Amino acid sequence: MDLRRPLWRSGVGALLALAALLPAAAQEPRVVTMIVPYPAGGIGDILPRAMADVLGQQTGRSFVVDNKPGATQTIGARLAAGAKPDGATIFFGSVTSLAINPSVKKDLPYDAIKDFEPIALTFVAPQYLLARRDLPANSVRELIELARRMPGKLNYASIGPASSVHLAAELLKTMAGVDITHVPYTGSAPAVRDTIAGHVDFTLTAGGMSYATQAKVLGVTSATRTSAAPDAPAIAETLPGYEATVWFGFLAPAGTPKEIIGKLNAAALQGARSPEFGKRMKDLGYNLIPGSAEEMAAMLKAELARWAPIVKSTGAKID
């Protein structure tokens, strides 16, 4: 009787049992879906696609962008929060979906803190006030003066109610004491397109300098002027204390193994250090600020606390 055969079989059985107990990080999916809560074509789509290429190069896996726009990014965030936490799904979050929506949306179908595992904060940028070329105002001061002479007649495009663009514009209106009509769109691409076409008077967009030859750039929402556009005055030069920057980062569904989070963070950091990638982002007007998952978690809590009183003061709400 050959005693080696049953021992061999029992050995295989032990290995199979051990494999079943291995952490999810050892069984990472080859294809990762990147849920992007923006329509295709705008800056909210360009940035994650650029990072998807970087992550793919760094990990040898395929990162596929799945655009799920609508409801001020709530649709995409809800889908990502409810996804299986196995590393097959990550989310492209922003100041809007993670720091503003919790204050403006009633019965939000996700929790920005409890439902996500931060991976890395990646992009931060000011917004540029982009006006149609034939608008009879060549500065933020002149825009405010025009709005005072024509209360309720001027309008601006946003990427949706209570979005970062909406709140930045409402903050400007409140601080300047003017009445300007809000025209919500479903994303930055159509909002910018209609501004350039002259259908609306102005909008705010992080990619504003990309359109400087097609429209007027009247100002920037950072506290001071930026190195990318030193000739664009900070809105704070006209309205002291004004500031409204935007940021983006990647997260995974809560419960995703720390091994996977760590590997994705490392890949994002390595990719961000690429001179080519850095130049591409700078040309778009973005600064790269990659850091640890823990740093992103701390920043997210701070941003939630910062935007809540601003939302309250503007009265922005979405049922």
pLDDT digits (tens, 9 = 90+) for 56-89: 999 999 999 999 998 889 999 999 999 999 999 9
CATH topology of domain 128-237: D-Maltodextrin-Binding Protein; domain 2 (3.40.190)
Contacts of 317 (CB under 8 A, 6+ apart): 104, 105, 106, 162
- For residue 24, pLDDT over 70 is answered with no
Locate CATH 3.40.190.10 in the chain: 128-237
Contacts of 279 (CB under 8 A, 6+ apart): none
DSSP string, 169-236: HHHHHHHHT---EEEE-SSHHHHHHHHHTTSSSEEEETTGGGGTTTSEEEEE-SSS--SS-TTS-BGG
Residue of 105 and 130 predicted with greater confidence: 130
- For residue 146, pLDDT over 90 is answered with yes
What contacts 24+ positions apart, CB below 8 Å, involve 210-215? 210/284, 210/285, 211/130, 214/133, 215/130, 215/131, 215/132, 215/133
SS3 call for 318:
strand
Locate CATH 3.40.190.150 in the chain: 31-124+246-314
291, two tokens: 């850091």
Are 296 and 121 contacting, i.e. CB atoms less than 8 angstroms apart? yes
What average pLDDT does the structure give for the chain? 88
According to DSSP, residue 138 is labeled S
Mean pLDDT of 201-207: 91
Mean pLDDT of 142-150: 98
pLDDT of residue 15: 37
pLDDT of residue 28: 77
Return the sign of the alpha-carbon dihedral for residues 244, 248, 249, 252: positive
DSSP bridge pairs for 272:
none
* Candidate from 72-81, 160-169, 186-195, 217-226 with smallest mean pLDDT: 160-169
Mean pLDDT of 110-122: 96
18 pLDDT band (50/70/90 cuts)? very low
SS3 call for 82:
coil
Locate all alpha helices (DSSP H) within 40-198, ordered by sequence.
43-59, 74-81, 95, 101-104, 140-149, 164-176, 188-196
Return the sign of the alpha-carbon dihedral for residues 5, 10, 13, 18: negative
Mean pLDDT of 21-25: 42
pLDDT of residue 69: 94
pLDDT of residue 107: 92
* Angle of helix 258-272 versus helix 43-59 axis, rounded to 10: 110
Contacts of 191 (CB under 8 A, 6+ apart): 157, 158, 159, 165, 185, 200, 203, 205
Mean pLDDT of 287-292: 78
pLDDT of residue 73: 92
- For residue 23, pLDDT over 50 is answered with no
Are 158 and 318 contacting, i.e. CB atoms less than 8 angstroms apart? no
- For residue 149, pLDDT over 70 is answered with yes
306 pLDDT band (50/70/90 cuts)? confident
DSSP bridge pairs for 51:
none
Mean pLDDT of 116-132: 93
CATH class, range 31-124+246-314:
alpha beta
According to DSSP, residue 23 is labeled -
State which H helix or E strand residue 125 sits in: strand 116-126
pLDDT of residue 16: 39
Mean pLDDT of 172-186: 94
Mean pLDDT of 166-175: 92
pLDDT of residue 125: 83
- For residue 196, pLDDT over 60 is answered with yes
pLDDT of residue 319: 64
* Candidate from 58-62, 148-152, 161-165 with smallest mean pLDDT: 161-165
- For residue 7, pLDDT over 60 is answered with no
pLDDT of residue 112: 97
The whole-angstrom separation of Cα 161 and Cα 126 is 19
